[in-house]
A and B are shown apart, each in its own frame.
Chain A
Amino acid sequence: MEDSFDLSADAILEDTEDLKNASAVAAHQQALRHWRKRSRESQVHRWPDFDGSVPGRRPKERRNIRSGLLAILRDFFGLNGKSPVYNEGDFERRFRVPRSVFRRIDNAVKDRPFFAQRINAPGRLQAHPLQKVVAAFRVIAYGEAPDRTDEYVQLSASTIAMSVRELMRFIADEFEHSYLRPHTPEELQRILTRNYERVTPGCISSLDCSHWEWRNGPQAFAGMYQNLHGKRSVVMETVRDEDLWIWQFFVRCPGSHNDLNVMHVSPLYLFVTNG
């Protein structure tokens, strides 16, 4: 499998341990000390000394963020020259995408503002981008709650929920041109050739709708989004070919719509009627 992004675990670890980061941490801590000292000198009233959380509030969990990164590296990338615990098949089963796709997304996302590794106020290194991406993939792939993933990647539930949101938004923005777009003439010709071989000449692909139940929707929308089973839902309309490649995708309609109403408001209808 060709894979230009596949770095070794050692390279990933070096990212966090190299001189640049260490000096950044040192500089940050020095600046903190400096500012603290200055503010103390300038103020008549001396603020009580405390580091970390405010006294009286719930303390921060004592999780070792770095151990989450090490666990991920050990399991899927191999640590200290050892081979990873899980093989390629397991990798694809865990993350639902092949390693090359995973690395590609990880590589694209790792310098984005939310995902880039940061230094917090006390001067400690925060989560590695890999941890956030792995957490988001686990939540999507297994449908599990963020605090369940917390145990593996050692990040707080709110961070994981945020990283799911950010990653999904990133993918939806970044890959739409490549992976969710209308067919080009060559692709259409290929589909038609294929369908000609399957005795349906002139058939582009198939069209169907499905409902995704919506639990946390606002109560004001309850009637509008109520589907025939009495549950709130949102309809997805898809057009896809024999390979299950999704050509057109339209999600937005309330569950009270049936397939026909959905088609009347979908871009597909304009696509066909104007054409």
Chain B
Amino acid sequence: MFPLSIYSLRTDNGRPVHSSYTANGTTHTLLYYLVDGIYPRFAFSVSPFPNPTTEVEVTLNRLQEVLRKDVERLYAVFTARFRVALHPAKYSTVEQMVTVTKAMAMLHNMDTKKRRDGYVSRTRMAGSGQAACGGGRRGLGVGTEAPPATPAAEIEERPPPAVMHPPAAIWLRVGGLGELRR
């Protein structure tokens, strides 16, 4: 499942087609999530090889872990930011825990929006926007140019759009917006 020839992206007039990619001569269209070893090899998830032996497997495991490390930080950031989440919860119902955790996740997202594109320190952020963008890119970043200035701030403020990505529409129907709560 993992794109073995990761640089062999199908291109369209020089621009990459992001919704599909080519690996080992096959073009995949299903997008995937990075997960850890406990998950079986679903088509929509990419987990590391359990016993890497060949060089390819070892390299891909390394790459997968490096990319996934970024998001392993979330719980550390989350508990550091909202110290209630670090201590055992003192609520009497699961509903209260769900409400509090979701509210904290939203506050966390509000914070994230403030320091999007880089997650750099306040001082570096204050220095210059361009420097912050460049400084925030790290690890295996291949592109050297600054990321395109996406209107992220505007996107977040909008109400849900009328035409949605099909999976997103399903997510809404399933109850992503509060059907499951209470």
Residues in chain A within 8 A of chain B (CB atoms): 89, 92, 96-98, 100-101, 139-144, 164-165, 167-169, 171-173, 175-190, 192-194, 196-208, 210, 212-218, 231, 234, 236, 238-246, 248-249, 251-252, 258-260, 263, 267, 270-272, 274-275
Give Cα A193 to B40, complex, Å: 27
Chain A residues near B170 (CB, 8 Å)? 270-271, 274-275
Tell me the count of chain B residues lying within 8 A, CB to CB, of chain A. 100
Once the chains bind, are B46 and A184 in contact (CB under 8 Å)? no
Chain B residues near A181 (CB, 8 Å)? 160, 176-177
**In the complex, the 8 A-B pairs of residues with the closest C-beta atoms, listed nearest first:** A143-B83, A215-B88, A275-B167, A192-B18, A197-B143, A182-B168, A201-B21, A206-B71
Give Cα A139 to B90, complex, Å: 12
Chain B residues near A139 (CB, 8 Å)? 84
Once the chains bind, are A187 and B155 in contact (CB under 8 Å)? yes
Pull 24 A–B residue pairs with CB atoms less than 8 Å apart, ordered by A: A96-B82, A101-B110, A140-B82, A143-B83, A143-B86, A164-B100, A165-B96, A176-B102, A179-B106, A179-B113, A179-B156, A184-B155, A184-B158, A185-B165, A193-B148, A197-B147, A200-B6, A203-B33, A216-B92, A241-B71, A252-B94, A259-B38, A267-B171, A274-B167
Give Cα A36 to B147, complex, Å: 71
Once the chains bind, are A244 and B77 in contact (CB under 8 Å)? yes
Chain A residues near B18 (CB, 8 Å)? 189, 192-193, 196, 201-202
Once the chains bind, are B114 and A101 in contact (CB under 8 Å)? yes
Give Cα A63 to B107, complex, Å: 31
Give Cα A263 to B40, complex, Å: 11
Once the chains bind, are B97 and A212 in contact (CB under 8 Å)? yes
Once the chains bind, are B139 and A192 in contact (CB under 8 Å)? no
Once the chains bind, are B38 and A97 in contact (CB under 8 Å)? no
Chain A residues near B102 (CB, 8 Å)? 172, 176, 180, 249, 251
Give Cα A245 to B105, complex, Å: 9
Q: Which residue, of B6, B84, B86, has the highest number of chain A Cβ atoms within 10 A?
A: B84
Any A CB within 8 A of the CB of B49: no
Give Cα A198 to B104, complex, Å: 29
Once the chains bind, are A180 and B63 in contact (CB under 8 Å)? no
Any A CB within 8 A of the CB of B45: yes
Give Cα A143 to B46, complex, Å: 36
Give Cα A98 to B106, complex, Å: 14
B32-63: contact bitstring with A at CB < 8 Å (1 yes, 0 no)?
11111011100011100000000000000001
Give Cα A203 to B45, complex, Å: 9
Give Cα A179 to B74, complex, Å: 16
Measured CB to CB, the closest approach of chain A to B9, in angstroms, equals 6
Give Cα A96 to B64, complex, Å: 31
Once the chains bind, are A215 and B168 in contact (CB under 8 Å)? no
Once the chains bind, are B81 and A272 in contact (CB under 8 Å)? no
Once the chains bind, are B176 and A141 in contact (CB under 8 Å)? no
Measured CB to CB, the closest approach of chain A to B166, in angstroms, equals 6
Chain A residues near B87 (CB, 8 Å)? 143, 213
Chain B residues near A165 (CB, 8 Å)? 96, 99
Give Cα A216 to B91, complex, Å: 6
Q: With contacts A168-B100, A238-B74 known, is A203 near B171, CB below 8 A?
A: no
Across the interface, name the chain B residue whose C-beta is closest to A232. B88
Once the chains bind, are B119 and A244 in contact (CB under 8 Å)? yes
Chain A residues near B131 (CB, 8 Å)? none
Give Cα A198 to B139, complex, Å: 8
B127-166: contact bitstring with A at CB < 8 Å (1 yes, 0 no)?
0000000000001111100011010100111111100111
Chain A residues near B31 (CB, 8 Å)? 192, 202-204
Q: With contacts A184-B164, A200-B3, A203-B67 known, is A97 near B21, CB below 8 A?
A: no
